[in-house]
Structure 1
């Protein structure tokens, strides 16, 4: 019998699901142009909201002269002058149909009323030939917790095996930066994983997720994972440009709010506007308002440190 939720089945089993050719070619062309423009501006200090080497987790600092970036934040920000190109993808059926399946809303007639706008950022290659690596981590469970606390948190953050959001990477160029430990989203770390170097290059069961242009990977935020970024000569190469987003499920209070609002999206979302018309525009505005309702994020703290 063929499953009606193959993406969700894979996510629950493996901790991630790869979807080839999620975005059509004509959308990719527009995105590549918008991302090159946006990245060039960010590297030159004309867009202050960035992720800088070697910092790995929020809070992010605004760009300073001499900074080398590995990410561009807030693609849906009202001051982002190509935000409509990014919004067309973030609120697209291609993305949201997968999201609905992964958060258990595939057959829910009221699914559109339960989705929350969250994050949409761009991950890029560091410049100047500087390689950069992230530590092994789970997105919202600190590495120093006991095995008992880790087990409790895993269950709490995935009630009845259900994620409260869906997060994804969509590659615009070839990308082999994400490394995951297959199936680790449903169990505490092994002793080998707990005692491993934070940058251990080879953990048992690890898998490099290889994406072609237009491919997407949706992954459970509890999976053990890290990123490896190869530095480039920006005069000769565009390097990696991968959209990194998340869409939430309404009604989960501070538990989800901290994870989203630690990225400072609450500071501008009340001013965000999108040019889309019709049902798509109405859905975008409703999702935006649900994020506004989550608040500014002040005093909620940060998931990880470093």
Structure 2
């Protein structure tokens, strides 16, 4: 990681980094993804993102899936996901972008984004932790606080699904951007959003991005997608990330059968997630590890 990479992340809100999946991991992750996708499509694995629903709870009212949740879950029997999440190269990149030490990293989410089989699908323009009806002043306040975590997509196949507005993690929306991101409908053409670009990842590339960038995504049912989708936190942020992370239902991460499959590094990262949960108990977040 060079200073220019960190500078670009801070300025533009995203950066593409190659080489975080070694050839060995690329093969192991690819085979593990094939197995969990098959379990999800067959109905064996119920934790999935369903076509027609953008945010949790995703429900099971549509048989078509655009994502697989909780791929580190011990019931899936795929320890390679947790091994990669806690690997040296990936955590070194996260530390550099977050400007923190390893003992400040907090384990959060690792999911998988896939193509639906029967329906093209799109996500509307949004910021992950700022409501679309937020005023400009509320946006400024929320964006200034959203620096204690980083999100990333790692593509195992070529991936052209993500659209972002570079630099939008630092400023409130313009009037036109507000209009296009307030609607509940997905965009007919994502590039109609002022400032938008399409992000293309080659196999093995990772895009790290601030999840409060304005972003959306399109899903082509005819083009295979297999992209690891994850985030990690910095404990300096206290409870700032609790609502965004805990809404996904992470009680399984507190169980011994999960922590026992982790190395010492992973177990310490889980302890920090549990500490964040305890720190927000009784607050009106609307979510918890038990949600």
Matched, 1:75 2:71: yes
The superposition leaves residues 202-261 of structure 1 with CA deviations (integer Å, 9 ceiling, x where unpaired) of 2122111100110000001111000111013xxxx7x10100011111143332111111
Q: Find the counterpart in structure 2 of residue 225 from structure 1.
A: 215
Q: Is contact 1:78–1:273 with CA below 8 Å preserved after alignment?
A: no
Q: Find the counterpart in structure 2 of residue 26 from structure 1.
A: 24
Matched, 1:190 2:139: no
Unaligned runs of 5+ in 1: 106-110, 158-162
Matches of 2:261 and 2:139 in 1, distance apart? 43
Q: Is contact 1:13–1:183 with CA below 8 Å preserved after alignment?
A: yes
Q: Say how many residue pairs are matched.
A: 276
TM-score by length of 1: 0.85
Q: Find the counterpart in structure 2 of residue 285 from structure 1.
A: 267
Matched, 1:295 2:285: no
Matched, 1:133 2:118: no
Residue 274 and residue 228 in structure 1: after superposition, are their counterparts in 2 closer, same or farther (change >3 A)? farther
Q: Find the counterpart in structure 2 of residue 160 from structure 1.
A: none
Matched, 1:144 2:133: yes
Q: Is contact 2:145–2:240 with CA below 8 Å preserved after alignment?
A: no
Q: Find the counterpart in structure 2 of residue 172 from structure 1.
A: 156
Q: Is contact 1:119–1:260 with CA below 8 Å preserved after alignment?
A: yes
What RMSD in Å do the two structures reach over aligned CA positions?
1.9
Query: How far 1:60 sits from its partner (Å)?
Result: 3.0
Matches of 1:166 and 1:156 in 2, distance apart? 13
Task: Please list every run of at least 4 consecutive aligned residues from structure 1 whose deviation after the TM superposition is greater than 4 angstroms.
Answer: 296-299
Find the residue that maps to 1:94 and give its secondary structure.
Answer: helix
Q: Is contact 1:87–1:274 with CA below 8 Å preserved after alignment?
A: no
Matches of 2:29 and 2:2 in 1, distance apart? 31
Find the residue that maps to 1:213 and give its secondary structure.
Answer: coil
Unaligned runs of 5+ in 2: none
1:236-255 equivalent positions in 2, closer than 5 A: 239-255=224-240
Matched, 1:199 2:186: yes
The superposition leaves residues 174-205 of structure 1 with CA deviations (integer Å, 9 ceiling, x where unpaired) of 00011001211111101111122553322122
Find the residue that maps to 1:51 and give its secondary structure.
Answer: strand
Find the residue that maps to 2:193 and give its secondary structure.
Answer: coil
Task: Using the TM superposition, name which of 4-13 and 32-41 deviates more.
Answer: 4-13
TM-score by length of 2: 0.89
Q: Find the counterpart in structure 1 of residue 252 from structure 2.
A: 268
Q: Is contact 1:136–1:199 with CA below 8 Å preserved after alignment?
A: yes
Find the residue that maps to 1:18 and give its secondary structure.
Answer: strand
Q: 2:38 aligns with which of 23, 37, 40?
A: 40
